[in-house]
Chain A
Amino acid sequence: MDKKILLQELAEGVARRRDIPKRDAENFLRAVFDVLGEYLQSDKIVKIRGLGTFKLVTVDSRESVDVNTGERIMIKEYTKVNFTPDPVLRDAVNKPFAQFETVVLYEGTKVEDMERMDLPDLKEFGVEIPGISPATPEVEETFQAGADETVAEAEGEDAAKRTGEDEFDIETASIEEADEDGSMLPREEHAPEETAGGTEAEGAAETAGASSPQPENVVTVGGQGEPALGEMAEEAVAESEEKETGDHAGVSRESADGEKKQDDSVLSGRGEKSTQNQPDCGVHVETQQIEVQKVEHQTVANQHIVQMLPDSGRRRVYLTPWMIFLMVLFVMALVVASYYVGYNHLLAPGDAAKKSDAAIRRESPEAKNAPDSKENGLAGDSLPPLKSLFPWVPVCDSVKPERADTARLEEEPRRKGRVYPQVENGAYEIVGTLESHRLRRGETLRGLALKYYGSKDFTVYIVAYNRIANPDLVPEGKVLKMPLLKLKSRE
Chain B
Amino acid sequence: MNNKEFVAELSRRMGYTLKDTSSLMSALVAEMTEQLEDENVITVQNVGSFEVKKKQERVVVNPATQQRMLVPPKLIISFKPSASFKEKMQ
Enumerate chain A interface residues (CB-CB to B < 8 A): 1-7, 10, 13-14, 17-18, 20, 25, 27-29, 31-33, 35-37, 39-41, 43, 45-52, 54, 56, 78-81, 83, 85, 88-90, 92-97, 100-105, 111
Cross-chain contact B43 with A18 (CB below 8 angstroms): no
Bitwise interface map of B from 1 to 13 toward A, beta carbon under 8 Å scored 1, else 0? 1110110011001
Contact A28 B24 (CB under 8 A): yes
Nearest A residue (CB) for B48: A81
What B residues does A27 contact at CB under 8 A? 14
Give the distance to chain B from A95, nearest Cβ to Cβ, in Å.
7
Shortest beta-carbon distance from A111 to chain B in Å: 7
Given contacts A31-B14, A41-B89, 6 further A-B contacts (CB under 8 A): A28-B14, A33-B46, A81-B86, A83-B79, A94-B76, A97-B73
Chain A residues near B30: list those with CB within 8 A.
Answer: 17, 50
Query: Which A residues touch B79, using CB under 8 A?
Result: 54, 81, 83
- When the two chains form their complex, are residues B68 and A46 in contact, meaning their CB atoms are under 8 A apart? no
Contact B33 A103 (CB under 8 A): no
Contact of A48 with B3 at beta-carbon distance under 8 Å, contacts A35-B13, A37-B85, A94-B75 already known: yes
Query: Could you tell me the distance between the alpha carbons of A40 and B22 in the complex, rounded to whole angstroms?
Result: 19
A29 touches B77 (CB 8 A): no
The answer on a CB contact under 8 Å between B74 and A94 is yes
Query: Which B residues are CB-close (under 8 A) to A43?
Result: 1
Please, could you name 16 A-B residue pairs with CB atoms under 8 Å apart, sorted by A?
A: A4-B40, A10-B44, A13-B31, A13-B34, A17-B30, A28-B16, A31-B13, A47-B1, A47-B2, A54-B79, A81-B85, A85-B76, A88-B33, A89-B36, A104-B70, A111-B70
Q: How far is the CB of A92 from chain B (nearest CB, A)?
A: 5
- Residues from chain A with a CB closer than 8 A to the CB of B5 are 39
Known: A43-B1, A81-B89, A103-B69. A5 touches B40 (CB 8 A): yes
Q: Are B44 and A81 in contact (CB under 8 A)?
A: no
When A and B form their complex, which 5 residue pairs have the shortest distance between CB atoms, in order from nearest?
A100-B72, A83-B79, A50-B29, A13-B31, A105-B68
A50 touches B26 (CB 8 A): yes
- Contact (A31, B37) CB under 8 Å given A37-B85, A93-B77, A97-B72: no
Give the dominant DSSP class at B's interface: mixed
Distance in angstroms from B38 CB to nearest chain A CB is 6
Are A6 and B90 CB-contacts (below 8 A) given A48-B6, A92-B37, A100-B73? no
Shortest Cβ distance from A54 into chain B, in angstroms?
A: 8
Q: Confirm or deny: B47 has a beta carbon within 8 angstroms of a beta carbon on chain A.
A: yes
The docked-state distance in angstroms from the alpha carbon of A32 to that of B44 is 11
Which residues of chain B are within 8 angstroms of A105 by Cβ–Cβ distance?
Answer: 59, 67-70
A86 → chain B closest CB, angstroms:
8
**Contact pick for B6, options A3, A39, A52, A56, CB 8 Å:** A39
Q: Which of B47-80 contact A (CB under 8 A)?
A: 47-48, 52, 57, 59, 67-79
